[in-house]
Structure 1
């Protein structure tokens, strides 16, 4: 991953495969755990008499492999499944103080004397949400026959590192598809001003997650976070496009896990043309993305 200079792509979310891209699906009441991740019950052009006994996930996987096999050399399809971290202490603080007071004052502090939220860690509820995701993935793999992820990418902010670890550790995975995440800067939350979005030092992260891969070029200190400037949506979208260019240039996998943040996932949906779909903490959304290399 990241071994060659990324090409630039046009990235488009393909509709009709998951309920979350349907405007009739209510994001406010949606619970991914109750709906088999809302993979659409539908037919595919690759269906045959032999696949009639396959699960919906198995038939979708067969179809996605067909799409990539038939696509031109400059076109790739990937299923990106983006999970928002579990509840962090910064979420508790914002709920307590209110968004306006949080944005104007409290978010710029390290904590309030009772709890700290600089590079916020998970609360007990946040840990429970990640363990619920673990149970969900276990059922998806064992019962629904969902294909195991080929790649795992995680934001370097501590709440995401914890979430990914609790969500995927201990699952029975194919030997050729182990859980070995890559920590990537471009998956971070909207950067600047809020101390909860300032990451820890590289050596601190490496010590806590020693078996994980940290991408090349990852600095010791956080050189991206600024105390006096909050990233705009347009600025965030620029780095999301860079992230997608990197994935489509350097990762040959079709089933990719992203553990990130509400702002990062919202940016992913914007740049791919997916409908807005707000996720509560600990929730997940699948996005089928077609990437076409620009000339």
Structure 2
């Protein structure tokens, strides 16, 4: 696919989202992670993307006889040809259906993950997440830990292994503006796509917004200075316009925001294989939007999802959006959380 094709728009020129909208679904039967869960809650993280070809199922496709008559092609090569064939057929029939494979990568372990595990979720949500950090760690716009960097390097090697098996790298890359994702994407893909790794930094891919300082992004200038090859989307403000120190975004509001991010990708990027480096909450919302079963993704892991998008006439159906929530009341003394130790000092919230 040419660069011009990848940058083409999927919705006809002059057609706005008030006249049509995307309806998403997950195409089953291609990745193990999309299969119905054996767990009663529909959640598991037992499929190791590093050890299982990213979960790609060993199967045949209708195009195998023509594309691979000698049976010499790899599973990835045959699958990628099948996806391209599906889209080519839709294009030839003037269909309004688009297929993409999304590689949803969660950032590696961050300083905030360690802090929440140490203090416990109750103390974290009511007190510690409001702070910039403690005496030993800073988690505002949280950075990766050394463990998180090692997780990203493991995923880098997993990609390299799959490339050796015939897998193509994604044609487009998108990343949340929070630092833990910016660094995860860099460690994961730099060197695989050459020295000019330049993902698109997209505001709407960020984690649940509000209250937690780990989810308040740095300003645009700082992001561009640290990652000069990254392309920041148009309209990206210098300072964080979304984070609120008193209100936290509801899950249903986050779903709407992540659908908007998907809509932008499907509308303006014709790439058929797309990488998205984001967060647990953001990926949870993407899975909800595309009708995928819940899947608990470990830090540093990757979840591929085969998505079908249909352009449906008419405006987006109305959604019930829950209001934001405020800081919960502490159930105990948060200063005594964490193995019973009292932390002597915290870095206070800036004015």
Q: Does TM, scored on the shorter chain, surpass 0.5?
A: yes
Q: Secondary structure of the residue that 2:238 maps to in structure 1?
A: coil
The reply on whether 1:223 has 2:241 as its aligned counterpart is: yes
Q: Secondary structure of the residue that 1:90 maps to in structure 2?
A: helix
Output the aligned Cα RMSD. Answer: 1.8
> 2:80 maps to which residue?
61
1:160-179 correspondence runs (5 A): 160-171=181-192, 179=197
5+ long unaligned stretches in structure 2: 1-6, 314-351
Q: CA deviation at 1:53?
A: 1.2
> 2:343 maps to which residue?
none
> 1:101 maps to which residue?
123
The reply on whether 1:74 has 2:61 as its aligned counterpart is: no
> 2:32 maps to which residue?
19
Per-residue CA deviation, residues 239-267 of structure 1 (Å, 9 max, x unaligned), is 11111111111001000000000000000
Q: CA deviation at 1:24?
A: 4.1
What is the aligned counterpart of 1:28 among 45, 53, 64? 45
Q: Secondary structure of the residue that 2:64 maps to in structure 1?
A: coil
Which structure's CA Rg is the greater one? Answer: 2
Mapped partners of 2:38, 2:147: distance in 1 = 26
Per-residue CA deviation, residues 263-288 of structure 1 (Å, 9 max, x unaligned), is 00000101111000001100010011
Q: CA deviation at 1:23?
A: 2.3
The reply on whether 1:241 has 2:259 as its aligned counterpart is: yes
Mapped partners of 2:269, 2:38: distance in 1 = 31
Per-residue CA deviation, residues 173-230 of structure 1 (Å, 9 max, x unaligned), is 6x9xx63200000110011110000000100000000111000000000001111111
TM-score (norm 2): 0.80
CA contact (8 A) 1:2 1:246 kept: no
Per-residue CA deviation, residues 21-57 of structure 1 (Å, 9 max, x unaligned), is 1124672322111101010111111111651211111
Runs of 4+ in 1 over 3 A off after TM superposition: 1-7
Mapped partners of 2:312, 2:206: distance in 1 = 26
TM-score (norm 1): 0.94
CA contact (8 A) 1:2 1:216 kept: no
Which structure shows the higher helix fraction?
Answer: 1
What is the aligned counterpart of 2:299 among 252, 277, 281? 281
Q: Secondary structure of the residue that 1:10 maps to in structure 2?
A: strand
Mapped partners of 2:223, 2:201: distance in 1 = 10
